[in-house]
Chain A
Amino acid sequence: MNSNHLTEAQTEAKHKQLGLSDEQVVDMYKYMLLARKFDERNLLLQRAGKTNFHVSGIGQETAQVASAFALDRERDYFLPYYRDYGFVLSVGMTLTELMMSAFAKAGDPNSGGRQMPGHFGSKRLRIVTGSSPVTTQVPHAVGIALAAKMQKKDIVSFVTFGEGSSNQGDFHEGLNFAGVQKLPVIFMCENNQYAISVPVRKQLGGKVSDRALGYGFPGIRVDGNDALEVYRVVKEARERAIRGEGPTLIEAMMYRLSPHSTSDNDLAYRTKEEVEENWKQDGIPRMKTYLIDQGIWSEEQDEALAREISEQLKEAIAAAENSPFPKPEDTLLHVYAGDKEVSAWQ
């Protein structure tokens, strides 16, 4: 009996070992593909002159979606960085909402059309508003974790950033603060090998994950193209945080498959061969293969999903295109609480 059980456990699918149902793991894949298709479409929209700008996260969706699934998506606080479309979609932002942002429309819940796309924020979804100066969000995540500790709430804050950003003072100041106070915060570096044009070998003297040692908590490097591994380490980090054992630094290894943004020609600083080589590591087809191997997904379902996403994108774009811009004079609103005060200043 016992030996039979053992064999069964050993052959149990990896996602089940991690506590993920078939439905959940398929859902993860759906969000990964959704983020990819959203991103690709935005590159086209910008090229077609429909939108002003797009900053891409292609190649990073696997880790983004997997980490979101490992968190409490109803209660935790999220501080994503500007490539995290996969993450924000997974915690509840809709395609239409993201398209509103891409078109800088009044209905953009992130900023009412004020910020560039990729600058997320939604109090309803506990996505904390972000800016463009990199890594400023790291101390904010620590502050939210401090507040959670003060109020004895069993939640965590989760913050992401690139490996270039990990050189900013706010990264080090934030991690040290969290280490001293043993705060429930998870730091995840999306190491995509490039800070615009500067490759990782000119950016880092060592490993990002090793830096955690200096701040007194674990640093873990994980294959960011392996959804289930990312899910596992983020889940464990969350459990540590909730137990009061403090922060975790995760360095998810990946590759930025697209140029930095629509204003960037990446072949000026890297070769086509290098990019093509990295497409082979892409986590999305890897996840698809896993699901098919498990017998819980098929090519037919995949084609249907692609059609469904395409339809959703069409609807989201139409909704955003047909929705109004902010009123010009609304530029003056929300400098301070209460609009009266603003007008009194002018």
Chain B
Amino acid sequence: MAVMEYIDAIRLAMKEEMQRDEAVFVLGEDVGVKGGVFTTTKGLQEQFGELRVLDTPLAESAIAGVAIGAAMYGMKPIAEMQYSDFMLPATNQIISEAAKIRYRSNNDWSCPVVVRAPIGGGIFGGLYHSQCPESIFFGTPGLKIVAPYSAYDAKGLLKAAIRDPDPVLFFENKKCYKLIKEDVPEDDYIVPIGKANVLREGSDITVIGYSLPLHFAMQAAEELANEQGISAHILDLRSLQPLDREAIIAAARKTGKVLIIHEDNKTGGVGAEVSAIIAEECLFELDAPIQRLCGPDVPAMPISPPMEKFFMLSKDKVKDAMLQLALF
């Protein structure tokens, strides 16, 4: 065990997998000599060489498309999108190609590619360095999507994604890179894709979410327990596709009051599907209407500090929503 940052856990996962399997390689903009604009791939090119840590031309569709071709050949590419905001040129490659290769070839070909992309705001990134694009890809059969909150999960889920026989989108939260610091094993383990995780056991209200907002929920739960005696149950989805239906239903049943949180905007977001699953499976066991606290339905996050603050979730916003639900 070593205390490490979320970003170090991601780097370690890639390093271990590249040592384990020669078919694993990283490609993307600035991933080589510079080690990534966030330092996610720092040191990897020195260790593994220019071809396995490949600086590509600035062209996202080619990054994804070349990775898909290499994956069909039998490689295990990790394609890095510098910011998830810039991955839309690659959407056709991801949705029309990667997601459908196994299905359209009747299981003859497969595409074990990983696409890593940093999501989320709170770094004064403005409209185009802050987005959460999960809902664009969510609901596309053939893709798997993970979005870790903890450093432990970041390492374990990335290793699982690299070993997965199908395409996986790995949405890492750029605000979590340095914010989340915890014990992470320095040896081999994976976190299975499709399994949610109870972060905190509780009996009054249930909070379901993924990525950075869980950090606020954990802080708020602590305060609500101390200040009001409210006991919050918190479920980290970890995988957005497939969603862990059983864990979602169990968490909803546990308290009968559910708050769903995410930074991606509310309409058509992952929370809508989570809410629908609960409504389908255990509506009559609820004691309050399902609540959602999400990014507002505006195109993206403005850079001006008060506007960014308005857009972002925070401990106080989450705490207030949790309290209101507890009092219902």
Q: Which residues in A have some Cβ–Cβ distance to B below 8 Å?
A: 77, 108-115, 119, 121-123, 128-129, 131, 133, 136, 138-150, 157, 169-170, 173-174, 176-177, 180, 333-337, 341, 344-345
> Which chain B residues lie closer than 8 Å to A110 at the CB level?
105-106
Question: What are 21 A-B pairs with beta-carbon distances under 8 A?
Answer: A109-B108, A114-B103, A115-B104, A121-B105, A136-B93, A140-B65, A140-B69, A143-B69, A144-B70, A148-B73, A150-B51, A169-B89, A170-B62, A173-B61, A176-B57, A176-B59, A177-B59, A180-B57, A334-B103, A334-B106, A335-B141
Task: Flag if A131 contacts B97 (CB, 8 Å).
Answer: yes
> Which chain A residues lie closer than 8 Å to B64 at the CB level?
139
Residue among B51, B97, B100, B101 with most chain A CB within 10 A: B97
Nearest residue, chain B, Cβ from A130? B104
- Chain A's nearest CB lies how many Å from the CB of B188? 21
Q: B107 within 8 Å of A by Cβ? A: yes
Bound Cα distance from A148 to B62, whole angstroms: 17
Residues of chain B at interface, number, CB under 8 A? 43
Task: Flag if A138 contacts B100 (CB, 8 Å).
Answer: no
Q: Which residues in B have some Cβ–Cβ distance to A below 8 Å?
A: 25, 51-52, 56-57, 59, 61-62, 64-75, 77, 89, 92-93, 96-97, 100-110, 141-142, 144, 165-166, 242
> Which chain A residues lie closer than 8 Å to B92 at the CB level?
133, 136, 170
Bound Cα distance from A343 to B28, whole angstroms: 35
Given contacts A109-B108, A111-B105, A121-B104, contact A336 B166 (CB under 8 A): yes
> Which chain B residues lie closer than 8 Å to A148 at the CB level?
73
Pick the residue among A119, A133, A143 that contacts B72 (CB under 8 A): A143
> Which chain B residues lie closer than 8 Å to A139 at the CB level?
61-62, 64-66, 68-69, 93
Given contacts A123-B109, A170-B61, A176-B59, contact A143 B66 (CB under 8 A): yes
Task: Flag if A129 contacts B105 (CB, 8 Å).
Answer: yes
Task: Flag if A174 contacts B107 (CB, 8 Å).
Answer: no
Task: Flag if A133 contacts B96 (CB, 8 Å).
Answer: yes
Task: Flag if B142 contacts A336 (CB, 8 Å).
Answer: yes
Bound Cα distance from A99 to B62, whole angstroms: 34
Given contacts A121-B104, A136-B93, A136-B96, contact A177 B73 (CB under 8 A): no
Residue among A113, A129, A174 with most chain B CB within 10 A: A129
> Which chain A residues lie closer than 8 Å to B25 at the CB level?
150
Pick the residue among B69, B74, B102, B144 that contacts A334 (CB under 8 A): B102
Given contacts A136-B97, A333-B107, contact A143 B166 (CB under 8 A): no
> Which chain A residues lie closer than 8 Å to B65 at the CB level?
136, 138-140, 142-143, 170, 173-174
Pick the residue among B74, B96, B104 that contacts A119 (CB under 8 A): B104
Bound Cα distance from A121 to B110, whole angstroms: 12
Bound Cα distance from A107 to B46, whole angstroms: 49
Pick the residue among B57, B69, B108 that contacts A146 (CB under 8 A): B69
Bound Cα distance from A344 to B242, whole angstroms: 10
Given contacts A136-B65, A143-B65, contact A129 B108 (CB under 8 A): yes
> Which chain B residues lie closer than 8 Å to A145 at the CB level?
69
Task: Flag if B70 contacts A146 (CB, 8 Å).
Answer: yes
Residue among A109, A344, A345 with most chain B CB within 10 A: A345
Task: Flag if B102 contacts A144 (CB, 8 Å).
Answer: no
Task: Flag if A149 contacts B51 (CB, 8 Å).
Answer: yes
Task: Flag if B96 contacts A177 (CB, 8 Å).
Answer: no
Task: Flag if B141 contacts A111 (CB, 8 Å).
Answer: no
Pick the residue among A173, A335, A345 that contacts B102 (CB under 8 A): A335
> Which chain B residues lie closer than 8 Å to A335 at the CB level?
102-103, 141-142
Given contacts A121-B108, A147-B70, contact A142 B62 (CB under 8 A): yes
Bound Cα distance from A139 to B75, whole angstroms: 15
Nearest residue, chain A, Cβ from B59? A173
Task: Flag if B62 contacts A173 (CB, 8 Å).
Answer: yes
> Which chain A residues lie closer than 8 Å to B144 at the CB level?
336
> Which chain B residues lie closer than 8 Å to A111 at the CB level?
104-106
Pick the residue among A121, A138, A150, A333 that contacts B109 (CB under 8 A): A121
